[in-house]
Amino acid sequence: MMAYATQMEAARLGIVTPEMEIAAGDEHISAEQLRALIAEGQAVIPKNKRHQIGHPKAIGRMLSTKINVNLGASRDCCNIDVELAKVQEAERLGADAIMDLSTFGDTRAFRRTLAAQCKAALGSVPIYDALVYYNKELAEITSDEWLEIARIHAEDGFDFMTIHCGMNQATAARFMRNRNRITNIVSRGGSLMFAWMQMTGKENPFFEQFDELLEICRKYDVTLSLGDACRPGSTHDASDATQVEEMITLGELTKRAWARDVQVIIEGPGHMPLNQIASNMKLQQTLCHGAPYYVLGPLVTDIAPGYDHITSAIGGTVAAANGAAFLCYVTPAEHLRLPNEQDVHDGIIAAKIAAHAADLAKNIPHASDWDDEMSKARQEVDWEKMFSLSIDPEKARKIHDENPSEIKDACTMCGEMCAMRNMNKILNGEVVTAK
C-alpha cells in the first residue's frame, strides 16, 4: 500500500483508509463517497496518529451534524476527578468530540489521560496552555515557544487543535481603527494573541510561521481548527468588517493547508441574530471554500444567562441546517461559571437536539428513522419503548413517573381522552367511553 501522511493525502491518492471505512459506515454512505469529500477538503476525519483508541468520526456539512463538548480545569476549579467525570458523561451521551480547555494544573498529564481513555475526537487550544506550561508572563513567551506548545499538543495525541492564525497584525489594525464593538475581542485565545502582539510589536507566530505549523499538523495528522479570534461576542457585533476580514484570511490559510494535505475546519460565531445566521453560513462556505464550519452556538440573544444552552440550540439548529458541520455545545453555566456535571449533561442534550433537528432538515440518510420509531411507540402507547428512544431516557422516565395516570395506556395530560389510546380502540373495533 502507498504511504500517506494524512487522511487528506490518502484521499487524494485514491486510498480508502480504515478510518474512512468506519466513519462512512456511521454516515450510511460509501467509503468512496467519503474519500472524495475528504480529498476536496469538504469533510475531515480528526484522527491523530498517536490517538490509538479513538472512534473515527467524519465532519462535513453534507454529513450528520457532530457536537463538541468543552471542559477542563481552571485555577478556581481544579479538581481533575470532576473533569474526568464530565468526560465520562460526555462519552456516555454520545459526544463526538471533547475539547480540553484547561488553564491550570498539570495540563499535560490530563491530556495524556484523555488520549489514553477517550474514544471521542480530542481537541485543544495550545495558546491557553502556553501560559501554564511556560509559567511566565504573556509578553515573555517567544515566537518559537508558541510553535513548540502546538507541537507538544500534537505529540500528546490530540486530534484537532484550535489555533488563532487569522489574528495577525492586519486584523488587529482593522480592529483598532474600527472600535465600534460592544464586546471587543471575546475569544480567549484571540485576545491573548492580540495582547501579545500589542505588547511585543511582533507578528502572530502562527501566521508568520504557518508553514512550520502545517508541518507539525502533517506529521501527526492533526486537523487544524482555524480559530476565529474576532468572532462576535454579542448580537450587536455580528457580521462586522473585523469578523469578515478575518474570515477572508482564514480562507487563504485554508488553501495553504490543503496544499500540504492538512485537514482544516473553520471556527465561526459566537453570538448572532437569527436572521443573519443562514447568510453567514453561506458566506463562510464561499470565503473558506467549503471547509467544514465549526460554530459556538450561535447564541441568538444576549439576555439569557442560565439558559444559554437554549439560545445556543436555537442558533445551532439554523446554522447546521444551512451548512455548519460541527456544533460546540453551550451549557446553562455559559457566561457565569465553569460548568458542573449537570450543566455538561444539559448542554450536550441541547446540542444533540439541535444537531438532530438540522439533520432532519438536511435529509441526512436515516436521520428520520429515530423519529419514526418514536412516533410508532407513541401511537402504540408503549411507554418503555418511548423511554428507550428518548434523547434523555432518564429524564423522560422521571417526568412520567412523577405523576402517573391510573389509566395504563395514557398519561395525566389527557387520561381517558388520550387520542392515541382512543384511536387504537376504535380502529380495533372496541368501544370508546368517556370513563
Complete domains list, the chain, with CATH: 45-361 (3.20.20.540), 403-435 (no CATH)
118 is in an annotated binding site: no
List average pLDDT for each run of 10 residues in the chain, which is 435 residues long: 89 98 98 98 97 94 98 91 95 97 95 96 97 96 98 98 96 90 96 98 98 98 97 96 95 98 96 98 97 97 98 98 98 97 98 98 97 96 96 96 87 89 92 78
309 is in an annotated binding site: no
289 is in an annotated binding site: no
208 is in an annotated binding site: no
pLDDT of amino acid 434? 67
Percent of the chain predicted with pLDDT > 70? 99
70 is in an annotated binding site: yes
228 is in an annotated binding site: yes
pLDDT of amino acid 178? 81
What lies within 8 Å, CB to CB, of 102 at 6+ separation is: 72, 73, 74, 83, 110, 128, 129, 132
pLDDT of amino acid 2? 66
CA atoms of 390 and 353, how far apart (whole Å): 11
Cα–Cα nearest to 74, from 40, 36, 47, 105:
105
Cross-strand partners of 265:
225
Residue pair 166/189 in contact (Cβ under 8 Å)? The answer is no
229 is in an annotated binding site: yes
231 is in an annotated binding site: yes
Q: Write down the pTM of the prediction.
A: 0.96
77 is in an annotated binding site: no
164 is in an annotated binding site: yes
4 is in an annotated binding site: no
Q: Is 124 left (phi over 0), alpha (psi -120 to 50) or beta?
A: beta
Record the cell numbers describing residue 272, joined without a space: 448572532
pLDDT of amino acid 1? 54
Alpha carbon distance, N-terminus to C-terminus of the chain: 72
pLDDT of amino acid 49? 96
Cross-strand partners of 10:
none
78 is in an annotated binding site: no
CA atoms of 383 and 377, how far apart (whole Å): 7
187 is in an annotated binding site: yes
pLDDT in tens, 65-87: 999 999 999 999 889 999 999 99
What lies within 8 Å, CB to CB, of 274 at 6+ separation is: 300, 314, 315, 318
Q: Which residue matches cell numbers 458542573?
A: 340
Cross-strand partners of 268:
295
pLDDT of amino acid 242? 92
178 is in an annotated binding site: no
